[in-house]
Amino acid sequence: MTRWAVLGALALSLTALAQRPDEDALFGGKPDGGALPDRPSENSMFGAAPDAGTPAREAGRSTGPAGTAAQESRGLDEAPTSDAFATGRVKEDPLKIGGLFYTRAFLQVQQDQPFNESRVSLPTLVDVYLDARPTDRLRAFVLGRMTYDPFLSTTVGGTALPGIPATTTADNPAVFLDQAWLSFDIARSVFVTVGRQHVKWGVARFFSPTDFLASQPRDPLALFDARLGVTMARVQIPWERAGWNFTAVALFEPTQNVGGGYSGSAPVENPGGSGVNPADTGTLLRDVGGAARAEVSFKNGAFGVDGLVQRNRAARAGADVTMSIGDFDVYGEVAWKERLDTPPSRTFTVNTPIDVSGLDPRVPPGTTVTASSEATVSVPPRSTPVIQAAGGATYSLNFEGNKSITFGAEYFYNSASYERDEYLPLLILGGFQSFYVGKHYLALSATLLETAARRTWILSGIGNLTDGSYIARLDFVITVLSYLTVESYVAGHFGRTGGELRLGFPRTDLSTVDGVTGLPSGSFFGPLNAPILDVGVGLRLSI
């Protein structure tokens, strides 16, 4: 393999991508020219097993070249004139530079809306990384991201309420820091990673109730995970002989933030800011959270338990298991949460203009004054504690030598669910998180891999069984010109209008909505037209 192909393979393995079929899984082998998974694997980061159910004994095989105490002692005692490159203590080319160019086009057709008024977006995402590995035991990684959408106004994301600004400002283009971490080991037994990073806990494919260290809940249908990393200090201790792996984490940012809606073209919204508590001007020592995980591998799978505690956030604990039973791969995870982090109510000031020109003939016509009043939007608090659980199974078939098809099914239960008539107040509160507002969900999938042609077809469907709304989606992915990945999809929304997956509201007087108080009559919201059809195409080039 040529030098440039090796560098390309390394570069592509480092771009942030999580919870989607990796290139090897999609195409059945090493990609041509190096289209490897975009995010650095946990093993390559610090020589330990991933947090999500990988047997800990694998970590022991990937901790880097073994070195005896005598060898390390000789390395320290060698004269300064010794050849550091020859001894392997210093690499000849320790810094790699690369990135990702990812542009997409989306079209959404909505009910009762002219086709030429359909929503269009064209987000472009550019990742650039610096990867420094001066030795096999030391690594620093930085990944910056820029997003731009020519169809995105600089005023987006507002709530259309009378007297409340309908928009909030957003940078376009926008620049984010996705990852910035330093990793090293202590005596080749303890592996430390400090900085902004990605950590995936849990084993389910579509739903992720135990993904405690992610910045937001994941979009289960997205092929590319555009969520930003979280700042933390993480320590891993693999115990190869017993098949155990232990992880301890200090958290410096809130996680699992709801309602941000980050899709690669808008910022992640972290309620409470960096200090968690909105009254804090910065992160205090008391705001630093803690998390831990222990996992053990057994003959046909792995089992893990984990938990997280942070001030002003709900405490949570979880467990997951994955194993093979005959020709089936089965998995499950369950999360216990003290409560929901979304506040059940919001109070805001409503400014209403009043025409006073008719009260006094001396007042010029059209003169208005502003009257201020307090309005409140609330939803009944959910029962506590909150229990969320996901479980499923997959079955694969190989045929024609280089083709395979995998069938999957997954069920998700959420005790902290909402009724359909609570969706509008929940939207105003900023607590509406798609795929996590219903009580019962069912997801089905079929994935066809054509290794020789480097093509993948993914048919998936998710249904909110509680409110009777559904979405079905067909993805097609192909790699061309060795490095360029072309993605396309079409999705249809079905079921009851006004349900989560066909979310829409007629023009509504908010003063008549349960949970809304203090608004004058005639305070209208909407209409919000329900989606019918989504179409998208994307081009992804790893640099």
Residue 277 clears pLDDT 80, i.e. is over it: no
pLDDT, average across residues 217-236: 93
CA distances from 410 to 26, 126, 206, 446 (A): 20, 33, 7, 12
C-alpha 34/C-alpha 117 separation (Å) is: 41
**pLDDT on residue 141:** 98
Give the confidence band of 259 by pLDDT, cuts at 50, 70, 90.
Answer: low
Q: How many CB atoms lie within 10 A of CB 237?
A: 17
Q: Give me the percent of the chain exceeding a pLDDT of 70.
A: 74
Does 109 reside within a domain?
yes
DSSP annotation of 27 reads H
Q: Alpha carbon of 277 to those of 285, 287, 314: distances in Å?
A: 12, 8, 13
Q: Structural domain of residue 221, as residue ranges?
A: 3-76+103-277+285-344+379-542
In 10 A of CB 15, how many CB atoms?
Answer: 25
Reported as a pLDDT band with limits 50, 70 and 90, residue 470 is: very high
pLDDT value, residue 38: 46
| CA pair distance 543, 540, nearest whole angstrom | 10
Output the domain CATH number for residue 68: 2.40.160
Question: pTM here?
Answer: 0.77
What's residue 241's pLDDT? 87
| Contact indicator for 224, 106 with CB cutoff of 8 Å | no
DSSP string of 145-206, one letter each residue = EEEE-TT--SEES----TTS-S-EE--SSEEEEEEEEEEEEETTTEEEEEEEE-------SS
Which residues are CB-contacts of 81 (< 8 A; sequence separation ≥ 6)?
Answer: none
The mean pLDDT of 288-307, rounded to a whole number, is 95
Q: Average of pLDDT values for 275-303? A: 78
Residue 514 within a domain: yes
Q: Tell which residue, 425, 493, 431, has the closest CA to residue 464.
A: 493
Check residue 362 and give its pLDDT.
73
User: Can you tell me whether residue 510 is helix, strand or coil?
Assistant: helix
Q: What is the pLDDT of residues 312-363, one digit of tens each?
A: 889 999 999 999 999 999 999 999 999 998 888 888 777 777 776 767 677 7
User: Which one is predicted more confidently, 106 or 17?
Assistant: 106
Lowest mean pLDDT among 39-43, 92-96, 411-415, 502-506: 39-43
Q: Evaluate if residue 198 carries a pLDDT over 70.
A: yes
Is the pLDDT score of 3 beyond 80? no
Q: Residue 232 and residue 290: Cα distance in Å, rounded?
A: 9
DSSP summary character for residue 18: -
Q: Which residue has the tokens 């047997």?
A: 55
Domain membership flag for residue 361: no
Is residue 84 situated within a structural domain? Answer: no
Q: What is the mean predicted confidence (pLDDT) over 27-40?
A: 41
pLDDT of residue 123: 92
Residue-wise pLDDT for 359-382, tens only, equals 767 777 777 777 777 888 899 989
Report if residue 87 sits inside a domain.
Answer: no
Question: Is residue 540 scored above 90 in pLDDT?
Answer: yes
What value does the mean pLDDT take over residues 90-113?
90
The CB density around residue 103, as the number of other CB atoms within 10 Å, is 15
User: E strands, 326-399, where?
Assistant: 328-337, 345-355, 368-378, 386-399
* Average pLDDT of the residues of the chain: 79
What is the pLDDT at residue 289? 93
Residue with tokens 């000849």: 92
159 within domain boundaries? yes
Q: Is residue 352 part of a domain?
A: no
Handedness of CA 74, 80, 81, 84 (dihedral sign): positive
Q: Which residue has the tokens 């941000």?
A: 260
> pLDDT per residue over 133-170, tens digit each?
999 999 999 999 999 998 876 444 444 454 444 444 56
Q: What is the model's pLDDT at position 151?
A: 82
Query: In the chain, how many domains are there?
Result: 1
Within a domain: residue 353?
no
Q: What is the mean pLDDT of residues 61-80?
A: 41
Q: In this model, does residue 512 exceed pLDDT 70?
A: yes
Contact status, residue 267 vs residue 172, Cβ threshold 8 Å: no
> Any long-range contacts for 232-235 (C-beta under 8 Å, 24+ apart)?
232/194, 232/195, 232/196, 232/197, 232/199, 233/192, 233/193, 233/194, 234/192, 234/193, 234/194, 234/197, 234/199, 235/190, 235/191, 235/192
Please give the distance of CA 138 from its chain centroid, rounded to a whole number: 27
How confident is the model over 25-39, as a mean pLDDT? 40
| DSSP letter (8 states) at residue 342 | S
pLDDT at 83: 52
| Residue 21 or residue 285, greater confidence | 285
pLDDT above 90: residue 518: no
Taking residues 284-290, report their average pLDDT. 88
Q: Nearest 5°: phi and psi at 56?
A: -65, -25
